[in-house]
């Protein structure tokens, strides 16, 4: 039984283009291993501009903190950075939600990897897998992600209740900016997760669905790391 | 073999799927190219109005009417923005890169064709949005393509600074997203889809230039996006990222504590890599053409590759040289200055290697070659004024003068454009199956080369004579009166040169339909695009995946049957 590649190969040779064409079996079926590798490479490349976006915002944040401004009453330059009173407990809960969602996303990823590895088994005469009633890890991830976003919304409301709006101070501007930018990127990931969850209903080949879930799960982990970084930044660098 | 041929498919048939929302990188490349063609004529028209106004400030022009000072600033803002983004970042990379990168590495398409289609149409939307700025109340913004805060961050700072400026920022933000999508595609394709035998060090220098340009775009456009987001927040939601305590028309604005320097840093951290994004593809084309038309390998292929990487890498370290007049510490200025001069090293390596390529070659002076040689000439002319501006001490009198305008126009506005002309004349036979008219090509070349030198070389003198840039009217200034004749000369040269571009336009479109039919490899070149049918079929290679045996510049190889060996030719002696 030929098990499709998991896409971990490659080495240092230049990869021969196989792409959607002749696969390892030579029977004209799409080379999912190559496609997975290409999709993962695309994701790795995608992280670069997202990181640059947050690097530039971080740089602006740190420099602004130390920047003195003119106090017109005394005509001297003073530091006017007012640390934001963050709802730490709520944000920690949100972090936990996102962490758990990362775990469930990883479980979803491994689940579909196993399913894809066994994709060619039903073709063997006399062998059947039986209906695998896997736990819906993907939908759980979506729900937890929605929970995180709801929690972020609640955190913004709490900030407003504490008198910190977007334009209240430089510090509050940055807190809203950093968390909202992260949230927008997370929403993008959620939309792809939803697509991956519904594609499973559309009966696309499991190897193809596996690629979508795999790449999205890795993106999800990246979003978690990004959130931990942003939370750490606004919590400790103030 | 059978499986591969079975996989070769015809592609979509309907008009919309074939020409509008095509997923074929060749169609998308042409879409980018024609978008840039429209944009360049819009940009040239704006510059023509600017040049008229500079010598006849009070003239009332037909259709446009009188050009008021604020109108002049609006013209220069939109001229710069449209040219830099929608011409220089679009045609060399999105146009030629999209069309030829997959073919030159032996791939049937880009890694992510749907993303490719989206990246073009997103660019198109960005173009529509920026053109819309002309038509809204207040008109286009007047803060320059560099959009410095606080002028750009306050909605009451001048005409065009309300909706016009918001549309400008939005257009640029949309463009950032489109560019990032394109960069992702280019990088993934280059790394993952090379044909068998196409090692990185056998890739044509055009592919190297598109690859490194994509990396630059990947890392730079994210920063521009963040700059633009902060600007939109300052303008519309009352934040103070860029705006300190300011008073406008006697009214204290609600901002406090922001830093206009933050905008400059964020903008130029993007802005400097951006100019390398504009020039690197032209360098790749020049290398390709100089080798092909000299019938000689490129001099020092490896050095050329490292020089491209060096220029790209160093390009991220020099942004402060646009800010020497911002009040930075002289030590900071010193380090930016040193890094800027360091970029001269890989640039010089490339220039000498180009000369070394032509030297003792059997040169064929066909139109593409003329443009490639013109590129080298203009790159040197425009590039040499760079080290002048890289000295902080010299930048003090030269900053914001016509000297800077001459410098960046020669290198971006002419050299990069010559790279595009060279690419057009060179690849036209492959894209359209016909040859462009050689005679009219040469006429266009001569007029454009002489004309652009006449326009931009005198600007160095004007700048040293203290003529400022972005001044709507200096005809009334006594200390600049003696420069008026030279300004008139420049305007006349501009009118003639812009007129000559219509020769190119007519040649382009006429040749598409009526030009002499081209063979598959009219230039006797070695790279993979010349192995395909003309124009290439939907999957580029007709179902047969190419195998590469040679590097891209096997010209005049001793002992070979012809004076060129194609990359896919299994026979033939090769050292690498």
Residue of B nearest to A15 (CA): B192
Q: How far is CA B297 from CA B146, B218, B364, B555, in A?
A: 41, 31, 14, 6
Closest CA to B575 of B546, B547, B550, B548: B550
Give pLDDT tens digits for B323-348: 999 999 999 999 999 999 999 999 99
Give pLDDT tens digits for B59-91: 888 777 889 999 999 999 999 999 999 999 999
Lowest mean pLDDT among A32-36, A114-118, B297-301, B530-534: A114-118
Q: CA of A173 to nearest chain B CA: how many angstroms apart?
A: 7
Write out the two tokens for B44: 């040239």
The domain made up of B2-531 has a fold known as Cytochrome C Oxidase; Chain A (1.20.210)
Q: Which CATH class is domain A32-122+133-236?
A: mainly alpha
> What's the length of chain B?
576
Percent of chain B scored above 70 by pLDDT?
Answer: 97
Give pLDDT tens digits for B173-199: 999 999 999 999 999 999 999 999 999
Which residues of A fall within a CB distance of 8 Å from B188? Answer: 38, 41-42, 45
Q: State the pLDDT confidence band at A218, using cuts at 50, 70 and 90.
A: very high
Given A45, A59, A80, which is nearest B184 (Cβ)?
A45
**How far is the C-alpha of B435 from the C-alpha of B519, rounded, in Å?**
9
Per-residue pLDDT for A62 more than 90?
yes
CB contact under 8 A, B257 and A14: no
Task: Report pLDDT for B61.
Answer: 83
Write out the two tokens for B4: 């591969």
Give pLDDT tens digits for B430-476: 999 999 999 999 999 999 999 999 999 999 999 999 999 999 888 88
Lowest mean pLDDT among A18-22, A101-105, B352-356: A18-22
Given B193, B198, B226, which is nearest A19 (Cβ)?
B193
Per-residue pLDDT for B30 more than 80?
yes
Query: Would an 8 Å CB–CB cutoff place A184 in contact with chain B?
Result: no
> Hey, where are the domains in chain A?
32-122+133-236
Average pLDDT over residues A12-16: 42
Query: Would an 8 Å CB–CB cutoff place A28 in contact with chain B?
Result: yes
Q: Please provide the average confidence, as pLDDT, over all residues in chain B.
A: 94
Task: Report pLDDT for B203.
Answer: 97
Closest CA to B535 of B519, B546, B524, B513: B519
DSSP symbols for A78-140 = EE--------HHHHHHHHHHHHHHHHHHHHHHHHHHHHHHTTTGGGSTT----------HHHH
Q: CB-based burial of residue A112 (10 Å sphere; 0-12 exposed, 13-18 middle, 19+ buried)?
A: buried
Q: DSSP state, B159?
A: T
Which residues of B fall within a CB distance of 8 Å from A64? Answer: 241, 257, 259, 262
Query: Would an 8 Å CB–CB cutoff place B214 in contact with chain A?
Result: no
Q: A17-26, B32-41, B157-166, B243-252 — which one is most confidently predicted on average?
A: B32-41
**How far is the C-alpha of B451 from the C-alpha of B460, rounded, in Å?**
16
Task: Taking the CA atoms of B105, B107, B109 and B113 in sequence, report the sign of the dihedral they define.
Answer: negative
Task: Report pLDDT for A122.
Answer: 77
**How far is the C-alpha of A100 from the C-alpha of B264, rounded, in Å?**
41
Average pLDDT over residues B5-17: 64
Write out the two tokens for A234: 């606004």
Within chain A, what is the greatest distance between any pair of CA atoms?
A: 89
Lowest mean pLDDT among A41-45, B5-9, B566-570: B5-9
Average pLDDT over residues B93-118: 96
> Hey, where are the domains in chain B?
2-531
**How far is the C-alpha of B312 from the C-alpha of B361, rounded, in Å?**
29
């Amino acid at each position: 039984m030929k098990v499709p590649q998991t896409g971990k190969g490659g080495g240092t040779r230049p990869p021969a283009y196989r792409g959607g064409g002749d696969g390892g079996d030579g029977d004209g079926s799409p080379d999912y291993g190559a496609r997975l590798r290409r999709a993962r490479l695309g994701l790795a490349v995608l992280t670069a501009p997202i990181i640059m976006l947050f690097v530039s915002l971080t740089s602006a944040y740190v420099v602004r903190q130390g920047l003195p401004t003119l106090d017109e009453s005394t005509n001297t330059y003073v530091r006017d950075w007012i640390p934001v009173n963050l709802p730490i407990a709520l944000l920690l809960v949100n972090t936990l939600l996102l962490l758990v969602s990362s775990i469930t996303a990883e479980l979803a990823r491994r689940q579909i990897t196993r399913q894809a590895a066994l994709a060619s088994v039903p073709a063997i005469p006399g062998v059947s897998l039986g209906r695998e009633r896997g736990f819906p890890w993907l939908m759980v991830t979506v729900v937890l992600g929605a929970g995180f976003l709801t929690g972020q919304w609640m955190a913004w409301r709490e900030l407003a209740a504490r008198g910190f709006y977007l334009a209240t101070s430089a510090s509050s501007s940055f807190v809203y900016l950093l968390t909202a930018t992260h949230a927008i990127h997370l929403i993008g990931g959620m939309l792809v997760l939803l697509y991956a969850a519904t594609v499973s209903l559309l009966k696309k080949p499991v190897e193809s669905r596996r690629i979508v879930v795999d790449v999205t799960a890795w993106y999800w982990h990246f979003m978690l790391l990004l959130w931990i970084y942003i939370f750490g930044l606004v919590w400790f660098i103030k | 073999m059978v499986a591969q041929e079975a996989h070769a498919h015809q592609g979509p048939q309907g008009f919309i799927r074939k020409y509008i929302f095509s997923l074929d990188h060749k169609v998308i490349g042409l879409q980018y190219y024609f978008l840039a063609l429209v944009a360049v004529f819009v940009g040239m028209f704006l510059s023509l109005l600017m040049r008229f106004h500079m010598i006849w400030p009070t003239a009332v022009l037909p259709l446009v009417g009188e050009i008021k000072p604020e109108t002049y600033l609006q013209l220069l803002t939109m001229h710069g923005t449209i040219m830099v983004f929608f011409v220089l970042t679009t045609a060399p990379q999105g146009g030629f890169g999209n069309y030829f990168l997959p073919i030159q590495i032996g791939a049937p398409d880009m890694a992510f064709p749907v993303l490719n289609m989206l990246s073009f149409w997103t660019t198109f939307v960005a173009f529509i949005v920026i053109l819309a700025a002309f038509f809204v109340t207040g008109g286009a913004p007047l803060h320059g393509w560099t959009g410095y805060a606080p002028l750009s961050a306050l909605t009451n700072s001048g005409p065009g600074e309300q909706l016009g400026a918001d549309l400008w920022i939005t257009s640029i933000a949309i463009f950032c997203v489109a560019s990032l999508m394109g960069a992702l595609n280019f990088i993934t394709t280059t790394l993952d889809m090379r044909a068998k035998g196409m090692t990185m060090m056998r890739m044509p220098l055009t592919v190297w230039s598109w690859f490194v340009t994509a990396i630059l775009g990947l890392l730079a456009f994210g920063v521009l996006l963040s700059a633009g987001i902060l600007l939109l927040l300052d303008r519309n939601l009352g934040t103070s990222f860029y705006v300190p305590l300011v008073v406008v028309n006697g009214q204290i604005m609600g901002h406090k504590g922001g830093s206009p320097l933050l905008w400059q840093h964020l903008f130029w951290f993007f802005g400097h890599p951006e100019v390398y994004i504009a020039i690197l593809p032209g360098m790749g084309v020049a290398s390709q053409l100089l080798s092909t038309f000299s019938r000689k390998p490129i001099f020092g292929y490896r050095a050329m590759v490292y020089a491209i990487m060096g220029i790209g890498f160093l390009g991220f370290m020099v942004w402060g040289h646009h800010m020497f007049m911002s009040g930075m510490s002289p030590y900071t200025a010193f380090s930016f200055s040193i890094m800027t001069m360091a970029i001269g090293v890989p640039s010089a390596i490339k220039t000498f290697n180009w000369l070394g390529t032509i030297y003792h070659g059997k040169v064929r002076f066909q139109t593409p070659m003329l443009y490639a040689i013109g590129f080298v000439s203009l790159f040197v002319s425009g590039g040499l004024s760079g080290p002048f501006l890289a000295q902080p001490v010299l930048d003090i009198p030269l900053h914001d003068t016509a000297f800077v305008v001459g410098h960046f126009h020669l290198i971006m506005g002419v050299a990069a454009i010559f790279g595009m002309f060279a690419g057009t004349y060179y690849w036209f036979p492959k894209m359209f199956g016909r040859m462009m008219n050689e005679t009219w090509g040469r006429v266009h070349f001569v007029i454009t080369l002489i004309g652009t030198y006449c326009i931009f070389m005198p600007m160095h003198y004007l700048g040293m004579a203290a003529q400022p840039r972005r001044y709507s009217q200096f005809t009334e200034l006594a200390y600049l009166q003696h420069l008026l004749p030279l300004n008139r000369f420049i305007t006349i040269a501009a009118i003639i040169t812009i007129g000559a571009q219509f020769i190119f336009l007519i040649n382009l479109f006429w040749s598409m339909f009526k030009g002499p039919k081209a063979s598959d490899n009219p230039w006797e070149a070695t790279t993979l695009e010349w192995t395909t049918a003309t124009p290439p079929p939907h999957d580029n290679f007709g179902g047969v995946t190419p195998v590469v045996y040679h590097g891209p510049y096997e010209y005049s190889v001793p002992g070979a049957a012809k004076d060129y060996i194609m990359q896919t030719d299994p026979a033939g002696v090769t050292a690498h």
